C-alpha cells in the first residue's frame, strides 16, 4: 500500500481543483511561507476522520470550506480525495486502488465515500485502523509533532507504537 494522490477542491486555500501525486517512499512537503503546506497536512487529517476544528487550525468545521477572497466568491463545499495503491491488498478491500472522499457542504451536511460508494466515517476509520495511517497517527508529521513525541509520557508513546505496529485495532475490539 502506498499513497498515490491527494486531490482538493474548495478546501481552505485550495479553491480550484488541485491534485498532488506521490511516489512510493517518504515524502516531504516543502515551500515558502503561505503556500499551503499546512493546509495539505490538514487535508490529510480531515479526510482520515479528524472531527476537531481546532486540530485543523480553525474555530469551526466550516472553516475548511474556501471562504473567498477579494477576487473570488466563497465556495459552497470542500472536498478532499486521497487515493492509495492497494495492489498488495494491504487494505482489507478487494480493489487495486482505494479512493477515500470526504465532502462538507455549507448546509452542514457531509458525505464520506470509499471508491465512490457512500459510507460512514466509522467505515473509513475501521479501514485505516491497523495501517498506522490515520488522523492522529505519526505517519503525518506536522510542525512540532516530533517534539511532542519526544516529550510524551511512556504510556502515550506506547499508544503511538501500538498504532504504528497495527495492534491498536485489537485493543479497540477488546474494549468493545
Strand partners, 21: 5
**Res. 20: pLDDT tops 60:** yes
Strand partners, 84: 3, 98
Domain membership of residue 163 (yes or no) is: no
pTM of the model as a whole? 0.77
Instruction: Tell me how many domains the chain contains.
Output: 1
CA separation for the pair 140, 4 (Å, rounded) = 15
**Res. 174: pLDDT tops 90:** no
Domain range for 10 is 2-128
Mean pLDDT value of segment 89-115: 94
Q: Give me the half-sphere count of Cα atoms (radius 13 Å) on the Cβ side of residue 150.
A: 5
pLDDT per position as a tens digit, 124-165 = 988 887 666 655 555 565 666 677 777 888 888 887 777 666
Domain membership of residue 154 (yes or no) is: no
Mean pLDDT value of segment 103-120: 96
Q: What is the pLDDT of residue 112?
A: 97
Domain membership of residue 170 (yes or no) is: no
Q: Residue 123's domain is classified under what CATH number?
A: 3.40.50.300
pLDDT per position as a tens digit, 161-172 = 776 666 766 666
Mean pLDDT value of segment 57-81: 92
Amino acid at each position: 500500500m502506498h499513497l498515490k494522490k491527494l486531490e482538493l477542491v474548495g478546501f481552505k486555500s485550495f479553491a480550484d481543483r488541485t491534485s498532488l501525486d506521490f511516489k512510493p517512499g517518504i515524502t516531504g512537503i516543502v515551500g515558502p511561507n503561505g503556500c499551503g503546506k499546512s493546509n495539505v497536512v490538514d487535508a490529510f487529517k480531515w479526510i482520515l476522520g479528524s472531527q476537531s476544528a481546532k486540530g485543523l487550525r480553525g474555530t469551526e468545521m466550516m472553516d475548511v470550506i474556501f471562504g473567498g477572497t477579494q477576487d473570488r466568491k466563497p465556495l459552497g463545499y470542500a472536498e478532499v480525495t486521497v487515493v492509495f495503491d492497494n495492489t498488495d491488498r494491504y487494505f482489507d478491500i478487494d480493489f487495486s486502488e482505494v479512493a477515500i472522499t470526504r465532502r462538507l457542504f455549507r448546509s452542514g451536511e457531509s458525505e464520506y465515500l470509499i471508491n465512490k460508494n457512500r459510507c460512514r466515517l466509522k467505515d473509513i476509520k475501521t479501514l485505516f485502523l491497523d495501517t498506522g495511517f490515520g488522523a492522529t497517527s505519526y505517519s503525518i508529521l506536522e510542525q512540532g509533532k516530533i517534539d511532542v513525541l519526544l516529550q510524551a509520557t511512556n504510556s502515550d508513546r506506547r499508544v503511538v507504537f501500538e498504532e504504528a505496529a497495527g495492534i491498536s485495532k485489537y485493543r479497540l475490539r477488546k474494549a468493545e
